[in-house]
Amino acid sequence: MACGNACASIAVDSWEFDTGVRDSTGEEFNISVDIQNPFQATHDVVRGASHAHTDFDFGWTDTAGTFSFHVSNTAAGTDPQLLSSISSGYIDFTSNSDLLFSSSGAYGYQLPVGEMQVGAGYNLYRNQGINSPLLLTRGGEDDTFVTAPRIGAFQLDGQIFLPAGANYRLQYNFETDTYGPVGNLATGSGDFTFTLTEVPEPASLIPFACAALSTRRTRRWL
């Protein structure tokens, strides 16, 4: 008898992905909200010399899932107005079994002149509304309001155990901003992947533990 998401260790409940460029005169965004599995899509927005791009490559089964993003942001100076290149969004999912969350990736950036800033990374919450506890965060912020130029990268590697029976939200944001002179570009790009993997019940680990003990009795370590 089919039981849908209730029988799956991983249930993706909702998501929204927004990629675009915003300035003092308006904004243009690509938005995705419809859940598909697998999900392969591209957002690409060009507004003048500014650009925001995100590639998505997702797939999951009842017991494991991989969610990959490739992001690129270019904010072109429109002195003295703020211009932002943004790739942001969230995924809400439910763990019906214990899960291991793992993330990897990096986001590199270049801020060549003053009056620029960058923020990139993700937050993982236990989804409980306004007071949702933050479980894991990776990424960072930098700017050239005091010192320029700034070149660097934010590391996005992390891992955490997620108990069964809860709803979680992965929220991400990759953004370059500039108030800087016309012709200068605040740029950033990188890859970010997170995986969800079912953690076996303790009883199911017994055969593996016995095999490991047997191997340990006979193997000679150098």
Q: Where are the domains of the chain?
A: 4-218
Distances (CA, A) of 22 to 46, 56, 135, 143, 217: 11, 21, 30, 18, 64
Q: Of 13, 4, 103, 125, nearest to 62 (Cα)?
A: 4
Distance CA 181, CA 183 (A): 6
Tokens of 68: 């990959």
Query: Does residue 6 register a pLDDT over 60?
Result: no
Query: Pick the residue with more confidence: 80 or 146?
Result: 146
Q: Are 190 and 153 in contact (CB under 8 A)?
A: yes
Query: Does residue 219 register a pLDDT over 60?
Result: no
Tokens 């995100």 belong to 54
Tokens 């909702």 belong to 14
Query: Pick the residue with more confidence: 131 or 119?
Result: 119
Q: Can you tell me the mean pLDDT for 38-48?
A: 97
Query: Pick the residue with more confidence: 77 or 207?
Result: 77
Alpha-carbon Rg of the chain, whole angstroms?
21
Q: Can you tell me the mean pLDDT for 22-40?
A: 96
The H-or-E segment that residue 207 falls in is helix 206-218
Res 5: pLDDT = 52
Query: Does residue 203 register a pLDDT over 70?
Result: no
Res 202: pLDDT = 64
- Percent of the chain topping pLDDT 70: 87
Query: Pick the residue with more confidence: 220 or 189?
Result: 189
Mean pLDDT of the chain: 89
Query: Pick the residue with more confidence: 24 or 70?
Result: 70
Distance CA 182, CA 76 (A): 7
Q: What is the pLDDT of residues 138-160, one digit of tens each?
A: 999 999 999 999 999 999 999 99
Tokens of 109: 């950036």
Query: Does residue 105 register a pLDDT over 70?
Result: yes
Query: Does residue 207 register a pLDDT over 60?
Result: no
Highest mean pLDDT among 86-100, 121-135, 169-183, 189-203: 86-100
- Percent of the chain topping pLDDT 90: 79
